[in-house]
Amino acid sequence: MALYEGIALIQEKQAVVLDLGTDYTKFGFTGEAAPRCIIRSEYWCPSTRKYKRVYDYTTPEELYDNLVHMLHLLYFRHVLVNPKERKVVIVESLLTPTLFRETLAKVLFIHYEVSGVMWVDSGRASALTLGAPVVLVVSLGARDAEITAVVHGCPVIQAIQSQPLGARAIHDELARILDEDNGTELHLSEDVLEDIKVRACFVPSREKAVEWLERGVASEVREVRGAGGAREGGGARVPVSRRARALAAEPLFARDNELASLPDIVLQCILQCPIDARRALAENVLVVGGGAALPGLKARLAHELRHLVTLPPYRERLGQLQFKFHSAPAHDNSVAWLGGALCGAACGAGGGAGAAGGGAWAGEAARGLARDAYARAPRLRDWPSLLHNTPPHHPHWALQ
């Protein structure tokens, strides 16, 4: 039996799991608890002689070249495997542009000749790590904050909320405050701003934030982040005030007439869900993404939600909800990747229809496509599309 199991392990190769984020990419194997590598979503461009981001493109051809170089870096430098021998699990947002997902599929199937690809949406992948039937996933990425309600393995499409309240919003506010404190435009790069945010910034309580916004932060407290902080490219130290450290994340919670703050879109997502699922969603909140690791953010979000439900327009419909937060089983920035790894391990990672042998959760969350099927019809099914459940001769196919 031991010899037989060893042979099976040799013959069955683990699929690779790809979570290609705006700023960082997670890459590893199914069935593992953490990705093998977390690297920036960029590569060294030989023509321009500088690093180029994958998402910096203007034409489909440029995007194709970016993805070819990025995947080459992942396969042949970081995990050292042959792409033809491994199926691929792609973790993506439900709001991913069609051009990007179709170009990525073209690169995998045609350029790297992978045998099969399975797509897993990030909301259900994150909820899968908890095993709870109802989960409200709050994903804080580089550009956007995306709220997805997962009810019994299905995302509520009409309730999805997205606003530009990601890490870039924090970086912009941090740069503005630093320019005001120093009396000049520092022109700090994204790398320096991220370094300052990670090393020094935090999210204060709601009472402290209101007090500091009204009366100001004590100006005598001023820190220079030297060996324990950020440095500019020329080696000059960047002075970081207490005001910059404490108020950089306030754009996430600033309310306006459009009710587009982070707590507001969380409550709006719950409002647009079925009424019998709202209480369970409020009691099963999961905050994921790189922005979720900012100290104090989850506690501040919980406090803001409990405060807003007592105010109009939420008081009458959501006033009785109790908000409870889950602790993610992995680091906040790799929860979606872990869900993709679990789903790929349960479903066999991508051949044919996708979910043979997996549980109901994994089967609903995954959509697979084999290379021969893609060669016959190079068309990807969109997430809200039900054509894959429609008979081949149904009139709806003629409308596509």
Q: What is the 3-state secondary structure (H, E, C) of 195-256?
A: HHHHHHCCCCCHHHHHHHHHHCCCCCCEEEECCCCCECCCCCEEEEEHHHHHHCCHHHCCCC
Whether residue 391 has a cis bond before it, omega within 30° of 0: no
0.75 surpassed by pTM: yes
Q: pLDDT 10s digit of each residue in the chain, 400 long?
A: 344 444 444 456 889 999 999 999 999 999 899 999 999 999 999 888 899 999 999 999 999 999 999 999 999 999 999 999 999 999 999 999 999 999 999 999 999 999 999 999 999 999 999 989 999 999 999 999 999 999 998 999 999 999 999 999 999 999 999 999 888 888 888 989 999 999 999 999 999 888 887 777 665 444 544 433 444 444 567 888 888 999 999 999 998 888 899 999 999 999 999 999 999 999 999 999 999 999 999 999 999 999 999 998 899 988 889 999 999 899 999 999 999 999 888 876 544 334 333 344 444 456 788 899 888 888 787 777 655 556 667 665 665 5
Cβ atoms of residues 246 and 217 within 8 Å: yes
CA torsion sign for 197, 201, 205, 209 is negative
Among residues 228, 251, 274, the one where a domain terminates is 251
Buried b (16+ CB within 10 A) or exposed e, 86-96: bbbbbbbbbeb
Residues 280 and 387 in one domain: no
CA torsion sign for 31, 94, 391, 397 is negative
Residues 268 and 238 in one domain: no
Residues 6+ apart with CB under 8 A from 96: none
Distance from C-alpha of 33 to C-alpha of 283, rounded to nearest angstrom: 26
Residues 50 and 152 in one domain: no
Owning domain of residue 313: 131-158+260-318
Residues 142 and 272 in one domain: yes
Distance from C-alpha of 216 to C-alpha of 205, rounded to nearest angstrom: 15
Among residues 251, 279, 298, the one where a domain terminates is 251
Closest-CA residue to 31 (of 74, 71, 102, 86): 86
Total structural domains in the chain? 3
Q: Is position 121 within any domain?
A: yes
Q: Is position 1 within any domain?
A: no
The CATH number covering residue 173 comes to: 3.90.640
Q: Is position 4 within any domain?
A: no
Cβ atoms of residues 114 and 83 within 8 Å: yes
Q: Is position 358 within any domain?
A: yes
Residues 175 and 234 in one domain: yes
The CATH number covering residue 284 comes to: 3.30.420.40
Residues 69 and 29 in one domain: yes
How would you write 213-230 as a 3-class SS string?
HHHCCCCCCEEEECCCCC
Residues 141 and 283 in one domain: yes
Residues 138 and 275 in one domain: yes
Q: Beta 238-241 vs 154-155: how paired, if at all?
A: unpaired
Q: Is position 135 within any domain?
A: yes
Q: Is position 137 within any domain?
A: yes
Q: What is the pLDDT of residue 279?
A: 95
Q: What is the pLDDT of residue 145?
A: 95
Q: Is position 303 within any domain?
A: yes
Residues 279 and 296 in one domain: yes
Distance from C-alpha of 298 to C-alpha of 76, rounded to nearest angstrom: 38
Among residues 289, 318, 347, the one where a domain terminates is 318
Residues 346 and 312 in one domain: no
Q: Which amino acid is at 227?
A: A
Distance from C-alpha of 247 to C-alpha of 214, rounded to nearest angstrom: 12
Q: Is position 181 within any domain?
A: yes
Hey, how many other C-beta atoms are within 10 angstroms of the C-beta on 122? Answer: 29
Q: What are the distances in angstroms from CA 194 to CA 9, 53, 270, 274, 392? A: 42, 16, 31, 39, 51
Distance from C-alpha of 86 to C-alpha of 101, rounded to nearest angstrom: 19
Q: What is the pLDDT of residue 135?
A: 96
Q: What is the pLDDT of residue 48?
A: 87
Residues 273 and 341 in one domain: no
Q: What is the pLDDT of residue 361?
A: 44
Distance from C-alpha of 282 to C-alpha of 256, rounded to nearest angstrom: 23
Q: What is the pLDDT of residue 2?
A: 46
Residues 65 and 152 in one domain: no
Residues 6+ apart with CB under 8 A from 229: 195, 196, 199, 200, 223, 237, 238, 240
Q: Where are the alpha helices (DSSP H) in the chain?
A: 2-11, 60-73, 98-106, 122-128, 167-182, 190-200, 206-215, 242-247, 262-271, 278-282, 297-308, 315-318, 335-347, 360-365, 371-376
Q: What is the pLDDT of residue 399?
A: 57
